[in-house]
Structure 1
């Protein structure tokens, strides 16, 4: 799907300001509400919407049940001839992907601690409500220098203890932390992460446990406390 909607185009009560991202399932626009407040319009690709018609409701249902400053609020739904859209709260900051690859930012140990701690705090909130985000990545975490937000709940599901487990979020969160750690690494990157990154033994073992497909922690609060203790 191309970002074909022109700047200034009206979609429902909203005015498109720019296209900010596109993917397999659709495209996201930055837009303004009638009061000039920024929102995100998430338009779904028609073919993917029909293909996943039995699962499309999850994102809206899950977001409607969440209230956390790091989680975008679902403000409404638009369904008209222009397409099917979610209207989402706009979150300030760049994605970690933008910080890493566009801005070439090197994250300090203090910044990694802050981002990791906040990320696990959000996961503790989600998992306490039996929600697995399912798609944590540097593209789906924003940071404004003080606080993070967790975006894109399109793959979020309720945990069932079998196919949908909290360990999926742990592994993806570990990958985010590894990306941040590698931002300050100036080696060749020819060896496995656990051999070349300058980590303590505790940090190395903690990340390995996060990456395990089976549950290795009592709960997500334990994960957060362990991260804060060793990082």
Structure 2
């Protein structure tokens, strides 16, 4: 009986979250061109703004997620309204339609780093990966100076557009030092009941309300990029990233500082300066 009820709930949720149809017009202004992606709490669409005749990104709350999806979307909208940086999408509007809500923002045409690695099979050298981090330091430094932390610096949230990197998806962002409401923390899996495996440890470090969480995200992103070109010897036992990647000592030292539990720098600008000096020596 429980299995049947669970299956029925899943069917209802899938129906409620059925994507908006191509050609449909949201709020009399934004025509749906295509579904761009679907996350845990939202759906993203490329739309044509019928007033400006420009393409925009429409991020809609997932109806099945109820109030949590709407709360996250409203938080994201409020934060993006405070941000103006060329590597961060510009917030355009916030729209409500019956029980659904949507955040309208600048559409950055390109593909993300996850697509580059896993679909295009692009491999990067250590220096190229460090230069990616250097580009991402700019929006992160700005974000932290405005008093916010991204908390989700990962390869799906880095867009490549004409050689420039853009930081996207501020759905988990918060104020530096902010304690999220208990209900929201539990919904996001950030409560005291979080599992203790390695994946949970990474999540716990990345979700802190301090700039060091984004530094950790950069370090983790660097390892993802480097492992895209790594082929372990056949039959070899799994080793630490230091043993497997065999980076130059100065690179290993810097990445280790990004990943360590204790904050290695006081500000992101200090982190950026150290990376800049490292790149000058390579």
Q: Which of 95, 98, 117 is the aligned partner of 1:78?
A: 95
Q: State the number of aligned residues.
A: 231
Aligned to 1:159: 176
Aligned to 2:10: none
Structure 1 runs of 4+ off > 4 angstroms?
52-56
Change (3 A) 1:53 1:20: closer
| TM-score (normalised: structure 1) | 0.91
Aligned to 2:274: 226
| TM-score (normalised: structure 2) | 0.76
1:139 counterpart SS class: helix
Q: Which of 161, 168, 171 is the aligned partner of 2:216?
A: 171
Coordinate RMSD, CA, aligned? 2.1
1:141/1:151 contact within 8 Å kept: yes
In the TM superposition, 1:56-67 aligns within 5 A as 56-67=73-84
1:3/1:22 contact within 8 Å kept: no
Q: Which has the larger radius of gyration?
A: 2
Q: Which of 32, 37, 42 is the aligned partner of 1:16?
A: 32
Structure 1 or 2: more helix by fraction: 2
How far did 1:184 drift? Answer: 2.4
Cα deviations by residue, 1:140-177 (Å, 9 ceiling, x for unpaired): 00012421111110111110188511111111111111
2:156 counterpart SS class: coil
Aligned to 2:265: 217
2:155 counterpart SS class: coil
How far did 1:110 drift? Answer: 5.0
Change (3 A) 1:57 1:93: same
How far did 1:64 drift? Answer: 0.6
Q: Which of 15, 19, 23 is the aligned partner of 1:4?
A: 19
Gaps of 5+ in 1: none
46-55 or 206-215: bigger deviation: 46-55
1:167/1:212 contact within 8 Å kept: no
17-26 or 161-170: bigger deviation: 161-170
Task: Give the whole-Å Cα distance in 2 for the aligned partners of 1:51 and 1:4.
Answer: 19
2:72/2:171 contact within 8 Å kept: no
1:19/1:30 contact within 8 Å kept: yes
